[in-house]
Structure 1
Amino acid sequence: MQMKTSDYFSSPPADYNLIVPDGWFQISLDPDERDQSILALVDLQFRGIDNAPHLKKELMRDLQKRAQSAYGIGGTEMYLSLLTVGPVPLASSLLISVPAADEWPVCSDANELAEHLAVRNAGAETELGVTQLEAAGTAVRLRRRDAPDPENQMGNTLPTTTLTYYVPIPATKRWLMLNFSTPVDPLADQMVRLFDAVAGTLHWT
């Protein structure tokens, strides 16, 4: 993907690459392709299962809601993990997004953004700092653990761990966000190590 960037642009950047694990399924956020992409994922998940139409419909509705929400906040790509360890699904997701310029304070660098995020997340269970990505440069890394929200997570009753990288987009005043999430609380540390490894593959083309 190639596109010239500028200080402010109406389209998301297309000049980055990221390597995700085999077993992560990409859902298109394009409204014209979204439903077809979701149907393909649901059919894959329910392959060989013909007696659960209600669960299949519920999953499709949940994915449509998530995809629409992601698109509305500047989402460019969304991945869902289909990985398992034995019978245990390693549920996780990655949303790549570029928030609109007016949704962020004007931050000159990663340290300034980290200070803003520290105030914004005061009192939450977080790890926050400035880090270096091997190919993409300086970034802000925020790990957060939140109480479960069963209504928005298909009945999940475990805390959710999110890991967000905020990476400045070269030659612009905007930030690329990599937002990883997992509800598998007992394996949160292992999942975060995987997320860190994926973020480490980000590079600009």
Structure 2
Amino acid sequence: MTDRTESQGSAVAVGPPSDYRLAVPDGWDRILLGSPERWGHCIDKLVKRRLRRTHATPQLEAALAERMRAQAEAAQANGGVEMYVVDQVLGQVPVSAGLVVTVLRPSPGTEPGDLGDIARSLALRSDAEDTGGAKDASDAGDAGAVTLVDLPAGPAVRHRYLRRPAADDPDGNRLALAHLDVYLAVPRSDQRLLLSFSTPTAPPLEPLVEALVTLFDSVARTLQWMA
């Protein structure tokens, strides 16, 4: 995002914010997605610190670092500017979660559309992906809920959904992920800011999913635009 100011006579048009501020809980490790060199170094340090007290082999350490680098590369390719990785123990339960912050820009020659357009598009996509069959209890409340909400930073689209990995997932993923995506319009701009939260839903984490989603909502409410 860039800051610009235009003058016309005595009136001054204030440009879009130059940045944003987001407050996250202690223990959320931040990875800036400016360049592969920077995030590669950060990921290597993060993996070494996390595995320091374990009996992880060098091969496991290298595989985990490579997977995180691939996630960072994919996020950056989609407009991601930073990501947070959460790997903590609450009580006796290990907690894993993530957040990717993405700047969405309209394609050249296209109109950005408003938040209502985003909400309708997400709702239609959810309807298309819904098989119409009965869902098990673990799916309750996660079937593509799209709502318009008011946050301190402005109106937003809140999209909560459950995503199951494909049977032929190339990474061998087997865990369903609970997602919470929050879309905000960048003031006085055609850009959108997307906060993408996710956490696995498999035991022993499953009982904590609702609490984590509540935490994700709380983090989204801390977003502030910077002049």
- Whether the TM-score (by the shorter chain) exceeds 0.5 is yes
Q: 2:156 aligns with which of 139, 148, 151?
A: 139
SS at structure 1 position matched to 2:189:
coil
Q: 1:79 aligns with which of 80, 84, 89?
A: 84
Indicate how the Cα distance of structure 1 residues 27 and 202 shifts in structure 2: closer, same or farther if over 3 A, else same: same
Alpha-carbon distance between aligned partners in 1 of 2:94 and 2:170, rounded to the nearest angstrom:
15
Q: Does 1:127 align with 2:148?
A: no
What is the 5 A alignment of 1:30-179? Answer: 30=34, 31-102=36-107, 106-122=111-127, 123-124=129-130, 125-134=143-152, 136-148=153-165, 155-179=172-196
SS at structure 1 position matched to 2:184:
strand
Alpha-carbon distance between aligned partners in 2 of 1:50 and 1:151, rounded to the nearest angstrom:
30
Alpha-carbon distance between aligned partners in 1 of 2:74 and 2:111, rounded to the nearest angstrom:
24
> After TM superposition, what 4+ stretches of structure 1 lie above 4 angstroms from structure 2?
149-156
What's the counterpart of residue 195 of structure 1? 216
Residues 79, 94 of structure 1: 8 Å contact kept = yes
Give the residue type in structure 2 aligned to 1:32: E
- Percent identity at matched positions? 34
Q: How many residues align?
A: 197
Residues 114, 129 of structure 1: 8 Å contact kept = yes
Q: Deviations over 1:123-160 (max 9, x none)?
A: 342110100112x1100000010113587696553311
Indicate how the Cα distance of structure 1 residues 53 and 87 shifts in structure 2: closer, same or farther if over 3 A, else same: farther
More strand by share: 2
Over alpha carbons, which structure has the higher Rg?
2
Q: Give TM-score scaled by structure 1 length.
A: 0.86
SS at structure 1 position matched to 2:23:
coil
Give the residue type in structure 1 aligned to 2:62: K
Aligned CA-pair RMSD: 2.5
Alpha-carbon distance between aligned partners in 2 of 1:152 and 1:40, rounded to the nearest angstrom:
28
Indicate how the Cα distance of structure 1 residues 143 and 51 shifts in structure 2: closer, same or farther if over 3 A, else same: closer
**Structure 2: tracts of 5 or more residues without a match:** 6-16, 131-142
SS at structure 1 position matched to 2:159:
strand
What's the counterpart of residue 10 of structure 1? none
Give the residue type in structure 1 aligned to 2:80: G
